C-alpha cells in the first residue's frame, strides 16, 4: 500500500488511477479492522452473539461495495455505468 501511495504521489497519473487508489484506501481500514477483530475476539464474539453477523463484517462488506463502485467507474470511464453497477 505504501509503495502504491508513493508511486501515485510522485508520478502524473490519470483520474482512473486516483479512483482505484481511493477505493482501496477507503476499504483497507475497515477490512483490517474486521479481520483483526475476528482474530482477536473470536471466542468472546461467540459468547456475545453470532461470530460473523456483526458490525465489523457489515462495515467491511459495505466498503467492498464502495470500492467496487469506484473500480467500475475508473475502469469504464462512465459515471452512469459506475453508479449503476455500484
The pTM of this model reads 0.70
Note the pLDDT of residue 52: 73
Nearest to 7 by CA among 15, 27, 17, 16: 17
Asked if 81 and 73 count as a contact pair (C-beta separation under 8 A), the reply is yes
Lookup result for grid cell 477490512: 31
Highest mean pLDDT among 3-12, 42-51, 68-77: 68-77
Terminal C-alpha separation, the chain: 24
Q: Which residue has the higher pLDDT, 50 or 84?
A: 84
Amino acid at each position: 500500500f505504501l509503495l502504491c501511495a508513493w508511486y501515485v504521489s510522485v508520478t502524473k497519473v490519470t483520474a482512473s488511477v486516483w479512483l482505484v487508489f481511493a477505493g482501496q484506501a477507503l476499504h483497507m481500514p475497515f477490512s483490517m479492522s474486521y479481520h483483526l477483530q475476528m482474530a482477536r475476539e473470536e471466542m468472546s464474539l461467540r459468547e456475545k452473539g453470532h461470530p460473523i453477523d456483526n458490525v465489523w463484517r457489515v462495515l467491511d462488506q459495505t466498503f467492498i461495495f464502495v470500492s467496487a463502485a469506484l473500480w467500475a467507474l475508473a475502469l469504464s470511464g462512465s459515471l452512469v455505468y459506475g453508479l449503476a453497477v455500484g
